[in-house]
Structure 1
Amino acid sequence: METIADTIPVTNQALSNIPFIASEIRNFLLKNLAIKIDGSLWDGDGVAPNIFGIYTKADEYVAGASGITDANVYDLIAKMKVSITANSDYDPNYILMNPNDVTNYLQLKKDGNNNYVVPPFVEIQGGKMFVSGMEIIETARITADTMLVGDFSKAVVYTHGGVNIDVGMIDKQFVENMVTIRAEREMALVVRDVHTDAFAKETGIAAALVTLAT
């Protein structure tokens, strides 16, 4: 496990106004910590003190020439799912994409007559989009033109305790009448080496579509 942390410097005067400012400081710090945790769980490189992220662990999908007419991301998703399920018991349940890619590649896909294209294996339930039974998760954390498909039952997040908050001084803070507040959480993302093929990442959607169409 590794410790993910975020800090914020505050003045002693601010700390003395605890009833007024404590809630704002805590909320700001915890939000920043949550953002760092999300980033680490996505693409952490695993080099201490960083944890491994799911994108880092996932196998890279390599598109093959398939002769698909007007290949689109729906086709790519179907191909990526097959690459995971072939000769395995995996059951991919989530697709992670950048919001811009979801809009441009999926929601705004039209045919030659300017009609929106929604394949029969796409469902909308409660405002959520499912492609071949897999839920689309949109997050700006994901770089545009990349995506990940996976069986997330094979990824487990372990934590040790909750969020710890400490106050201390660093550098010249004693003479500057300041302190640093630190929020941290100890955690790890575990994807066993034998299960990295439960996840497939595409590092270049546009290029993959060209390949699928050849």
Structure 2
Amino acid sequence: MSTLDEVREKLAAKQDELKKVFDEAEVTTDSGEKSYDFARVKSLGDNVRGSIAVAEKVKAMDDELNELGEKADKLEAAERAAKGLAEREKVRGRPPMPGGRGNHPSVADRVKSLGEMLAEEKAYSDWIKRGTPGGIDFSYDVLPSDVLAKAMQVETLLTKALMTTAAGYAPESVRLPGFVEATTRPLQLIDIIPMAQTGQAVIKYMEETTRTHGAAETAEGGTYAESTFIFTERSSDVRKITDSVPVTDEQLDDVPMMSGYVNGRLMFGVRQRLDTQVYVGNGTAPNLRGIVNVAGIQTQARGADPVPDAFYKGMTKVRTIGRAVPTHHVMHPEDWQGVRLMRTTDGVYIWGSPSEAGPERMWGLAVVQAEARAAGSGLVGSFQPPWITLFERSGVDIQVGYTGTQFVEGKRTVRADMRAALTLGRPAAFCNVTGL
């Protein structure tokens, strides 16, 4: 198998085989819950009988599914890389980013963090020398995705050490470089959503909402059959996401400190909020409309089914109604925990022994653990460019100025913002799984 379509076709066939095994093994307990008795399975042939033998075969089938899923992921990533290369070729002639040397700066010179660009800005250093009168604005011509990626590389070794002494003569105390970050939710979903650039304030596109094929056999001289195709214009507003942090005059003079704040706090804060909005944003201005709140996505209730069965039924809806190939499951970590700990009636862990990490895959598809949505509901969908795209409208803008009484307090506010829009070209390519 060498093409993505061939791998996906085999993956779908193997999913159906494994589903048949689970259907045969499924039993209902006295409490009404569903479980699995693998001794009931006959579809694997006479050579595979008994719960342990069947469980081992099921694990082998699941491992094969995971291997196929990983192949599909790699091939899909390769195709995205090819498309990305084509897009980058279109913008090779754009001006180099600040800090580039000569007419042909290297990649390392061109891609700088916002903190580094701010530190190298002559207007900024001149403003510091003048005593920081009033405010100052900066605007850079950069690709937002480049800057957001650079923002994840938090450099703490350049932060200044602080020496403090008590009254009188005392041994010096040197503060260790850097700092221990407080806990926060990582980025979890936006990495699997295709991204693109836009120069518009509103993303408009046409969706074929009616597709009725009337093709039919016709007698000689008879009236031709007629089909009906209707298009509807859809739109998604570009929304702004912002973050800011107050800093003292001393911190403004401490360039590495400024770089750390811009990269490690403001940029991450903007991306983290975007990660939440694309999943659960309610669409009421100024919010984006997240995937689960887009009209037209499908729903699959778990009911009395085991969680994996509910997600498989969601996959089936994506295939048969959405006419798309499902690529990912999205689940809260607590819901995934319940799946990972599932056991057969005789105590065999379905997703692998506790001594193993176990694959974060289900029915051959990658499982993305996302906490932006409360436990109890999940999502299965086709995260491919024809069906979903996250558009970036403008580069990240950094500004420094006064707010309120900061002038007399010796403070400034550093702020960052970005603008983005999310479009679902085919909502039925996604299915909301509830009741987990």
TM-score by length of 1: 0.80
Amino acid at match of 2:430: F
Aligned to 1:191: 424
Summarize the Cα distance change of 1:110–1:75 in structure 2 as closer, same or farther, 3 Å threshold: same
Amino acid at match of 1:17: D
Distance 2:399 2:301 in 1: 48
Summarize the Cα distance change of 1:163–1:180 in structure 2 as closer, same or farther, 3 Å threshold: same
Amino acid at match of 1:81: M
Aligned to 1:113: 346
1:175 is paired with a residue whose SS is helix
Summarize the Cα distance change of 1:93–1:51 in structure 2 as closer, same or farther, 3 Å threshold: same
Distance 1:53 1:88 in 2: 18
Aligned to 1:4: 241
Aligned to 1:149: 380
Aligned to 1:173: 406
2:414 is paired with a residue whose SS is strand
Give yes or no for the alignment of 1:81 onto 2:315: yes
Aligned residues: 191
Give yes or no for the alignment of 1:94 onto 2:319: no
1:170 is paired with a residue whose SS is coil
Distance 1:181 1:50 in 2: 23
Query: Offset at 1:128?
Result: 4.6
Summarize the Cα distance change of 1:130–1:40 in structure 2 as closer, same or farther, 3 Å threshold: same
Deviation string 1:15-61 (CA, Å, 9 cap, x unpaired) is 12223x11221112212122111111111112222111112226251
Amino acid at match of 1:198: A
Q: Is the 8 A contact 2:381 2:429 kept in 1?
A: yes
Distance 2:267 2:302 in 1: 44
Distance 1:17 1:91 in 2: 52
Distance 1:176 1:141 in 2: 37
Aligned to 1:139: 370
> What is the root-mean-square deviation of aligned Cα atoms in Å?
2.3
Query: Offset at 1:140?
Result: 2.0
Structure 2 stretches lacking a partner, 5+ long? 1-237
Query: Offset at 1:189?
Result: 0.7
Give yes or no for the alignment of 1:51 onto 2:288: yes
Distance 2:345 2:419 in 1: 52
Query: Offset at 1:203?
Result: 3.5
Q: Is the 8 A contact 2:379 2:431 kept in 1?
A: yes
Distance 1:64 1:77 in 2: 8
Query: Offset at 1:114?
Result: 1.0
Aligned to 1:160: 393
Distance 1:127 1:183 in 2: 40
Q: Percent identity?
A: 27
User: In terms of Rg, which structure is larger?
Assistant: 2
Match of residue 260, structure 2, among 9, 17, 24: 24
Distance 1:64 1:55 in 2: 17
Match of residue 35, structure 1, among 267, 272, 285: 272
Distance 2:359 2:400 in 1: 42
Aligned to 1:201: 432
Structure 1 stretches lacking a partner, 5+ long? 120-125, 206-214
Distance 2:342 2:302 in 1: 22
Distance 2:431 2:297 in 1: 5
Aligned to 2:301: 63
Give yes or no for the alignment of 1:103 onto 2:343: no
1:47 is paired with a residue whose SS is coil
2:301 is paired with a residue whose SS is coil
Provide runs of 4+ in structure 1 moved above 3 Å.
none
Instruction: Considering fraction of residues, name the structure with more strand.
Output: 1
